[in-house]
Structure 1
Amino acid sequence: METKSQPELSLLSWGANSYGQLGQGHVEDQLAPRLSDTAALQSRAVRTVSGGGGHSVFVTENGEVFVCGQNNRGQLGLGHNTDISTLQLCPSLNQTVTNVTCGWDFTLLLTDCGQVLACGSNAFGQLGVGPTVRHSADLLFVECLKDPVVSVAAGLRHSLAVTDSGCVYQWGTGLFSLAKRALSPHPIPSHLCSKVPCLVPGLDQKTPHLVAAGSAHCVCLTEDGDLFLWGSNKHSQLTTTEPFLSSPTLLKRSLLDGEKVIHLWSGWTHIVAQTESGRVFTWGRGGYGQLGRQASINKNPEQQSAGALAEGGNQEVCLPAEVKVLNGATQIACGSEHNLAIVGGCLLSWGWNEHGMCGDGSQTDVFQPQLISGLRPLLIGCGAGHSMALCTAATGS
């Protein structure tokens, strides 16, 4: 009796590689997908992947963690500060990890029992372990989170978590200067200036269950399919004309044609959401093509005049609009200003492409989702300026 052989899996990576974050054993940028060195994985299945400013973290199905790339602040959790250009097992980990999220130069790991582990830079309190630690090459427990955590997100210099009790916590002072400028002379709310997890007000009885973070904004998705946004609105990513929102503010569902949201992702200055019917909407900054579409501008005269108050003289609000080619996407990943998606078993990319992170062999920004041919992706992930995909055998272009 003939048995089916398992498909051969390959880990490919491309884009910025100054610190070896592509895991290819060198530090040269790659403008198209190339094989990573997966010898350390020894055929382990990968369940999730995330990247930061110059590092990458892979979590396997059995809860192990493999890392590569920049390690100047200990963001790889290896107990030292030396960069690594091929995947290496995080050896001191005796917890089973289920998810990972990376900030610019720090890493947050979520364990199967709902604990959060952190390593890397703590210059802004983004590790959530208090002000005395400047950076840590060892994984530290975020002890202030008493209830089990179900979702965690790392921004540029701040962090978010949702507990199974439905509370949202924020830490890290990355939004403090923006808040101070926008809210002066009023005091800054505690959750915007805390170096340990601080309860975010205004979300009680809202059943939060997923968070995402940009460079200076925060997003929370509730079980009811509503989005709440707060933080900097410099690029209209909060769909308001206010320069800064200090507390969670409901996104009008009418902006998404009345549909509930089932998933969300965030780049540094743009947001991507998928609704219950599988449609994908984008909004925020679009100058590098990261929206995957032409910007739709709010022409409401009242909001136009109010928009003159927005930071940076921004008088136009870029509203959510659908990117039809992404309908039915099964996975989406956002880098700082670029994106990947799996649609119909194919890999699409769009956005900022200075380091080749869109994988088309060029360094020209991509303004509409385009096919990266010859790949059958199973899992995707992005760093700030690099891309990663676990694929079955290539089909050929």
Structure 2
Amino acid sequence: MEARWRPEFCLLSWGANSYGQLGQGHAEDQYVPRFSDTAALHSKTFRAVAGGGGHSVFITENGEVYVCGQNHRGQLGLHISADISTLQLCPTLDQKITNVACGWDFTLFLTDCGQILACGSNSFGQLGVGEMVTHSADLLFVKCLKNPVVSVAAGLRHSLAVTDSGCVYQWGTGLFTHAKRALSPHPVPSHLSSKVPCLVPGLDQKISCQIAAGSTHCVCLTGDGDLFLWGSNKYGQLTATESFVSSPCLLKRSLLDGEKAIHVWSGWTHIVAQTERGRVFTWGRANYGQLGRQASASQNPEHQSAGPTEGANQEVCLPSEVKVLCGATQVACGSEHNLAIVGGSLFSWGWNEHGMCGDGSQADVVQPQLISGLRPCLIGCGAGHSVAVCCSV
């Protein structure tokens, strides 16, 4: 969902900061929200923010791009490969950018014409520009997508897009090894092994509108309110019994109490969805508190016996409601932590090793907790950091 804020703003960030991804001019982790350096913004208004493994991207209302953080693979699109610790304007080939998705070390920009521009690592074909490019500090057009794109997502090493006709495309080989191991001796389907956009099968009769990507899984939301999932099921994030699902499988609507889904987000190994009544459900990996609830509440013995998890402390959960998040107007997922705006207030939960939950500690947060004093208008997460744009503090 889209949110905008006006010039009377402050930009705060916290969590992992090894590469300057907090935009504060240094490279030290921050365990509570701190002001970022906004000198370069000149009272800009913003419409989107996203983060990758060590970088952050901000999209302005007029389509400009500001970036900071890790840049060793050119993921900031600045024509250089040096890390940047304060927000810097990114040239965008005269294209207006409307949204952004960040993978581990690459970035996908969506233009107002429905085109995708990509930069950063292409070691797994995640930029969608073929095999000849290993990485790029320049913005490259993903030319194979002929129809305008309306939604884009970046996983750890794979990418997804939805066109205006409702078709879903996938590229990048980040899921290939998992698929090969699970499907052998059968061949790996082309959409899991392609380095250019490839149509995802099994959604022919559906009109898709939004996609989300985990580290090794994919989620698609249709206009009918259905969710389809595919990829790795190691942590039960697909709600299936198989360890890997190669083609989209329907999430039983009964798991969402029979309600249609209207939004979906994904961390690396967990999924968050909101239904038509505003209720928020979470499922998947639970050992960092990333589900925002006690794992035992919806423990699924069938999944446990199927063996998609590793280690006694890793619990697999089916979808269950997190009631305190009902009515959330925004949700953002990092690798294993989350932010949400509920009633104008900011909540955080999950993995907290680098302080990304903003409570001043490094202890994981099992249930959504209020970050007091912040009234955010826009939120975003990187793998281990958090960002909030606030109208006042």
User: Residues 51-62 of structure 1: matches in 2 within 5 Å?
Assistant: 51-62=51-62
CA contact (8 A) 1:78 1:92 kept: no
Q: Are the structure 2 counterparts of residues 298 and 147 from structure 1 closer, same or farther at C-alpha, using a change threshold of 3 Å?
A: same
Aligned to 1:207: 207
Aligned to 1:308: 306
Instruction: Compute the displacement of 1:310 (Å).
Output: 3.6
SS in structure 1 at match of 2:317: coil
Aligned to 2:8: 8
Instruction: Compute the displacement of 1:240 (Å).
Output: 1.2
> For residues 202-245 of structure 1, what are the alpha-carbon distances to aligned partners after superposition, in whole Å with 9 as ceiling and x for unaligned?
00121101000000000000000000000000000001111000
Q: Are the structure 2 counterparts of residues 16 and 131 from structure 1 closer, same or farther at C-alpha, using a change threshold of 3 Å?
A: same
Write the distance in 1 (CA, Å) between the matches of 2:59 and 2:92: 14
Q: What is the identity, as a one-letter code, of the residue corresponding to 2:306? A: A
> For residues 156-179 of structure 1, what are the alpha-carbon distances to aligned partners after superposition, in whole Å with 9 as ceiling and x for unaligned?
000000001111000000000000
Q: TM-score when scaled to structure 1?
A: 0.95
Structure 1 unpaired stretches of 5+? 1-5
Instruction: Compute the displacement of 1:334 (Å).
Output: 0.2
CA contact (8 A) 2:70 2:84 kept: yes
Q: What is the identity, as a one-letter code, of the residue corresponding to 1:196? A: V
Q: Are the structure 2 counterparts of residues 293 and 79 from structure 1 closer, same or farther at C-alpha, using a change threshold of 3 Å?
A: same
Q: Are the structure 2 counterparts of residues 311 and 284 from structure 1 closer, same or farther at C-alpha, using a change threshold of 3 Å?
A: closer
Q: What is the identity, as a one-letter code, of the residue corresponding to 1:391? A: C
User: Residues 104-123 of structure 1: matches in 2 within 5 Å?
Assistant: 104-123=104-123
Write the distance in 1 (CA, Å) between the matches of 2:385 and 2:117: 24
Write the distance in 2 (CA, Å) between the matches of 1:163 and 1:308: 35
Aligned to 1:81: 81
**Residue 185 in structure 1 maps to residue 193 in structure 2:** no
User: Residues 12-31 of structure 1: matches in 2 within 5 Å?
Assistant: 12-31=12-31
Aligned to 1:342: 341
Q: TM-score when scaled to structure 2?
A: 0.96
**Residue 293 in structure 1 maps to residue 293 in structure 2:** yes
Write the distance in 1 (CA, Å) between the matches of 2:201 and 2:224: 18
SS in structure 1 at match of 2:318: coil
Return the index of the structure with the highest Cα Rg: 1
SS in structure 2 at match of 1:319: strand
CA contact (8 A) 1:304 1:316 kept: no
Write the distance in 2 (CA, Å) between the matches of 1:202 and 1:313: 33
Aligned to 1:324: 323
CA contact (8 A) 2:20 2:83 kept: yes
SS in structure 2 at match of 1:274: strand
Aligned to 1:45: 45
Q: What is the identity, as a one-letter code, of the residue corresponding to 1:371? A: L
CA contact (8 A) 1:217 1:233 kept: yes
CA contact (8 A) 2:264 2:271 kept: yes
Write the distance in 2 (CA, Å) between the matches of 1:106 and 1:316: 30
Q: What is the identity, as a one-letter code, of the residue corresponding to 1:380? A: I
Q: Are the structure 2 counterparts of residues 54 and 317 from structure 1 closer, same or farther at C-alpha, using a change threshold of 3 Å?
A: closer
User: Residues 229-378 of structure 1: matches in 2 within 5 Å?
Assistant: 229-295=229-295, 296-299=297-300, 303=302, 307-308=305-306, 310=308, 312=310, 317-378=316-377
Q: Are the structure 2 counterparts of residues 102 and 261 from structure 1 closer, same or farther at C-alpha, using a change threshold of 3 Å?
A: same
Instruction: Compute the displacement of 1:93 (Å).
Output: 3.1
Write the distance in 1 (CA, Å) between the matches of 2:43 and 2:193: 43
Number of residue pairs aligned between Structure 1 and Structure 2: 386
Question: Greater CA deviation, 36-45 or 290-299?
Answer: 290-299
> For residues 88-123 of structure 1, what are the alpha-carbon distances to aligned partners after superposition, in whole Å with 9 as ceiling and x for unaligned?
001243100000000000000000010000000000
**Residue 387 in structure 1 maps to residue 377 in structure 2:** no
Write the distance in 2 (CA, Å) between the matches of 1:273 and 1:89: 33
CA contact (8 A) 2:336 2:383 kept: yes
Write the distance in 1 (CA, Å) between the matches of 2:201 and 2:306: 28
CA contact (8 A) 2:77 2:138 kept: yes
The CA RMSD measured in Å over matched residues stands at: 1.5
Q: What is the identity, as a one-letter code, of the residue corresponding to 1:202? A: G
Structure 2 unpaired stretches of 5+? 1-5
Write the distance in 2 (CA, Å) between the matches of 1:298 and 1:27: 40
Q: What is the identity, as a one-letter code, of the residue corresponding to 1:387? A: S
